[in-house]
Amino acid sequence: MFDKILVANRGEIALRIIRACKELGIKTVAVYSEADKETLHVKHADETYCLGPPSSNKSYLNIPSIISVADMAGVDAIHPGYGFLSENAYFAEVCETCGIKFIGPSAESMEQMGDKSIARETMIEAGVPVVPGTEGGLSGLEEAVETADEIGYPVIVKAAFGGGGRGMRTAQNEDDLKQAIQTASSEAEAAFGNAEVYLEKYIEEPRHIEFQIIADEHGNVVHLGERDCSIQRRHQKVIEEAPSPALDVDLREEMGQAAVKAAEAVNYANAGTVEFLLDKHNNYYFIEMNTRIQVEHPVTELVTGIDLIKEQIRIASGKELGYTQEDIEINGAAIECRINAEDPDKDFRPSPGQLEEYIIPGGFGVRIDSCAYPGYLIPPHYDSMVAKLITHGNDREEARRRMLRALDEFEISGIKTTIPFHKLVLNNAFFQQGEFYTNFIQRRIIGEL
Ligand code: ADP
């Protein structure tokens, strides 16, 4: 097992990883930017090093600085968390060259899934269903028009290296298509430094269903069931739950097997997530694989009892899974609300600043993953998440009621948060019945804000 791990991230996920290391008896090294001196991930680590100014490029994305710290501190491994360098194959390669274990999949697996248009091709070859569309990246308008005519409108143009719901545009007809390609590619170029786009059929009112994969470095792959992440705002997840109210045992098994096949096709090791869209006729289509731990991993942990961060560390240290698909049981239901520093009344405008009151909920089945405390200053430089509030119940209705109770107990002042918005969703009759699709917020909630 490793002796010392550097956590190349910030905020709640850095703290989450440090907590897992402590329980495993592993020493921890935190890195931080000048904006994060007072954060809890720095407070709880055994050693801390400042990387530089707040800007991500100069701190959490600064590979030479992070590697120098790793070298100086003498760590065996680096955990990248999510975001920042977590899906950067070059970083994984640099770690390997420097004799430091990257806690995640191999650079090759990351590369194969990192370009979403190549990932589509790989999945087609592996026999995993993908959304109808172009085979690889779009060569130009002509190919786009041809493909769209073939598969039928509406279509969606997507950035090959996209993430976070950016670089995506829909087109209702041929007239829209040219504009959609232009906008999506220039957004992709600006956000991801690569203008490549591809085209998919736009699935009307799908659910976003993703499977948690866990694989060791000896070829054992299992899935830990699904998460339903259909509650999204602008293609970004805001509430996630496990299991999905839309899946029965047979569909879970079928999609789970497809997810395992997807991971095997790229010789995947460590934790990863295979994302699908599910249409109203129970057809499912691969959209992408995320080659890292995800924000919403706690809902899977609560229903399976498996600590995913510890598993990532164990697997990276060369250990075998030690369980098979038959050993995995789903117990009860869990829901996660991402509490963001945003003003739901003002189109979710970011609301960074200092927390005055910060009174957290507690009790049976309530978990909070957060770096915040009373007086904590949420810096404007990074994402706007204040806390992840997660509840577990014997069934979905208990988890839902528990979440509403916990949201009522949660008191944050000094900044605006999305707590009132989450209450609206959790109280909505369609949500309560499990009847929702990716357009739920637009259709059922926006009017009520
Ligand atoms: P990102 O990597 O930016 O998160 P994804 O490919 O995972 O992009 O898609 C994010 C969300 O966008 C999906 O959960 C879904 O709501 C929507 N979406 C993506 N592709 C399609 C599609 N072909 N049809 C309908 N909605 C889609």
Quick: pLDDT tens for 239-279: 999 999 999 999 999 999 999 999 999 999 999 999 999 99
Q: Which residue has the tokens 């990932």?
A: 119
Ligand 1 touching residue 206 (CB < 6 A): yes
- With respect to residue 402, please indicate whether it lies within any of the assigned structural domains: yes
Per-residue pLDDT tens for 185-226?
999 999 999 999 999 999 999 999 999 999 999 999 999 999
Residues annotated as catalytic are 292
234 CA → ligand 1 middle, Å: 10
Among residues of the chain, what percentage have pLDDT more than 70?
Answer: 100
* One domain, residues 257 and 369: yes
Distance of alpha carbon 348 from alpha carbon 166, whole angstroms: 16
* pTM of the predicted protein model: 0.98
Distance of alpha carbon 449 from alpha carbon 440, whole angstroms: 14
Peptide bond into 206 cis (omega under 30): no
Ligand 1 touching residue 405 (CB < 6 A): no
* One domain, residues 246 and 366: yes
* One domain, residues 196 and 211: no
- With respect to residue 133, please indicate whether it lies within any of the assigned structural domains: no
Ligand 1 atom 14: residue of nearest CA:
208
Q: What is the mean pLDDT of the chain?
A: 97
Distance of alpha carbon 357 from alpha carbon 7, whole angstroms: 29
- Token duo for residue 375: 């007086």
Position 449 scores a pLDDT of: 80
Confidence of residue 372 (pLDDT cuts 50, 70, 90): very high
Ligand 1 touching residue 438 (CB < 6 A): yes
* One domain, residues 400 and 379: yes
* One domain, residues 295 and 412: yes
Query: What is the DSSP secondary structure assignment for residue 437, as one 8-state letter?
Result: -
Distance of alpha carbon 351 from alpha carbon 342, whole angstroms: 5
- With respect to residue 126, please indicate whether it lies within any of the assigned structural domains: no
Ligand 1 touching residue 156 (CB < 6 A): yes
Distance of alpha carbon 158 from alpha carbon 235, whole angstroms: 12
Per-residue pLDDT tens for 152-171?
999 999 999 999 889 999 99
Confidence of residue 136 (pLDDT cuts 50, 70, 90): confident
Residue 234 backbone phi and psi in degrees, to 5 = 50, 50
Position 244 scores a pLDDT of: 98
- With respect to residue 346, please indicate whether it lies within any of the assigned structural domains: yes
- Token duo for residue 384: 């706007």
440 CA → ligand 1 middle, Å: 14
DSSP codes, 352-364:
-EE-S-EE---ST
Distance of alpha carbon 171 from alpha carbon 242, whole angstroms: 32
- Token duo for residue 162: 């996209």
* One domain, residues 220 and 192: no
* 275 CA: nearest ligand 1 atom: 7
ipTM of predicted assembly, 2 dp: 0.98
- With respect to residue 283, please indicate whether it lies within any of the assigned structural domains: yes
Q: Which of 151, 166, 201 is the last residue of a domain?
A: 201
Measuring CA to CA, which residue among 304, 336, 449, 445 is closest to residue 400?
A: 336
Mean pLDDT across 83-110? 98
Distance of alpha carbon 174 from alpha carbon 143, whole angstroms: 12
Residue 171: domain span: 141-201
N-to-C CA span, the chain: 50
- With respect to residue 115, please indicate whether it lies within any of the assigned structural domains: no
For the domain that residue 413 is a member of, what is the CATH number?
3.30.470.20
Position 376 scores a pLDDT of: 97
pLDDT surpasses 90 at 77: yes
257 CA → ligand 1 middle, Å: 21
pLDDT surpasses 90 at 448: no
- With respect to residue 301, please indicate whether it lies within any of the assigned structural domains: yes
186 CA → ligand 1 middle, Å: 18
pLDDT surpasses 90 at 284: yes
Distance of alpha carbon 245 from alpha carbon 386, whole angstroms: 27
Confidence of residue 447 (pLDDT cuts 50, 70, 90): confident
Ligand 1 touching residue 312 (CB < 6 A): no
Domain count, the chain: 3
Mean pLDDT across 66-75? 98
- With respect to residue 332, please indicate whether it lies within any of the assigned structural domains: yes
Which residue type sits at 79? H
* One domain, residues 340 and 356: yes
Position 336 scores a pLDDT of: 99
CB 237 within 8 A of CB 295: yes
| Pocket-testing residue among 116, 228, 235, 273, ligand 1, by greatest number of atoms within 8 A of Cβ | 235
Q: Residue 149 CB: number of other CB atoms within 10 A? A: 11
* One domain, residues 221 and 346: yes
